[in-house]
Amino acid sequence: MSSALPWRSAWHEALYGTAGFYRTGRPHAHFSTATSPGLVEVLAEAVVALARNEGLTGVVDVAAGGGELATAVCALAPDLDLTCVEVRPRPAGLPGQLRWVRSPGGAALPDDLGVLRDVLVIAHEWLDNVPCAVAERTRGSRHGALREVFVTTAGIESPGPEVEPVDRVWAERWWPVGSRVEVGRARDEAWADLLSRVGRGLVVAVDYGHTTAARPETGTLTGYRGGDVVAPVPDGSCDLTAHVAVDSLRHDRIVRQRDLFAELGLTGTALEPRLAHEAPAAYLQALARRSAVTALRDPAGLGAFWWVLARRP
């Protein structure tokens, strides 16, 4: 049997190690997101609208996947400077003007990213894949001992020592109740590092999340494989993700995706039935866009995503 490691270490190795989930294969084949075909074009509209509203000249896509979002942004606004930050090598077929910067993975950002100015930095589903400490309270009160959870590559958990004092302080401040805590300090630090790279601009995290008023009692750590939810086993065979404590991140504003899209004018508009006969191709295109907007604003689905916005400086 493999030896047990703290969840944070096992999680990082499973996703970003030599044979990790994000080093091999095509991760997007295992789950659907707002960057999937048919939806990403509307997400790109939101990104371009934010960049225009802020008077910014570039977009940096952190955790860029296969470059789907950056490619859609390029099609809408070819004048914007585009940079992708991603663990994997640059895929073939991307627009030539798109800059590709390799990332170490997890919380680490590449040193050669440089100081970013006049940019919208969007981290779409980055922080939920930044491994963090997983801990359990040994008694059913906020003052109970908070012990780190260890896990083997077979997914067998065992109690470890008490968490570091800084993690305990974070949990007491941001996750004071519940039997299981996903300590978001590592995400807060990764986010602060990203903010520090931006001299002027708007930094946005888009993710699954929760706030102090509604922390899940037993955590959210989940695995995804082949489009299905599976047990979170850190063996490199599945994606591992946990929702983000969005209110612990430095921010100017946090808002639900459905509400931000409404502010940006991304709403499902009524279609003229006559277009189906007069311009069937245009009608089908408009129908597809309306369906995408509806899906991205669905309060029971992608519309519940949080957008965390922080202006720099």
For residue range 263-304, list pLDDT tens digits in order.
999 997 767 777 766 777 776 888 899 999 999 999 999 999
Q: What is the pLDDT of residues 79-107, one digit of tens each?
A: 999 999 999 999 999 999 999 999 999 99
pLDDT at position 25, please? 61
Whole-model pTM: value is 0.94
Contact status, residue 138 vs residue 168, Cβ threshold 8 Å? no
Residue 237 structure tokens:
């065979």
pLDDT of residue 141: 45
Q: What is the pLDDT of residue 138?
A: 86
| CA–CA separation, 150 and 156 (whole Å) | 8
192 token code pair: 């602060």
| Residue 109: both structure tokens together | 């950002």
Q: For all residues of the chain together, what is the average pLDDT?
A: 93
Which positions of the chain have pLDDT values less than 70?
1, 25-32, 139-143, 270, 276-277, 283
The pLDDT of residue 27 is: 60
Cα 309 from chain centroid (whole Å): 13
Domains contained in the chain, CATH given:
11-130+183-262+292-312 (3.40.50.12710)
